[in-house]
Structure 1
Amino acid sequence: MNGTVKAKHQRLVLITIALAALIAAGLLAAWALRSQASYFYLPSEMSANPPAADRAVRLGGMVDKGSLKTASDGVTITFLVSDDKGKVPVRFRGIVPDLFKEGSGVVAEGKRAADGTFVADNLLAKHDEKYVPRQMKDMTASQARQIGEATK
Structure 2
Amino acid sequence: MRTGAENLLRATTNNKVREQVLLELSFVNSDLQILKEELEGLNISVEVYQNTEGTFSIPLVPLGLKETKEVDFTLPLKDFILEHYSEDSSEYEDEIADLVDLRQACRTPSRDEAGIEMLMSYFLQLGFIENRFFPPTRHMGVLFTW
What is the TM-score normalised by the length of structure 1?
0.33
Higher strand share: 1
> Under a length normalisation based on structure 2, what TM-score does the superposition of the two structures give?
0.34
Which structure is higher in helix share? 2
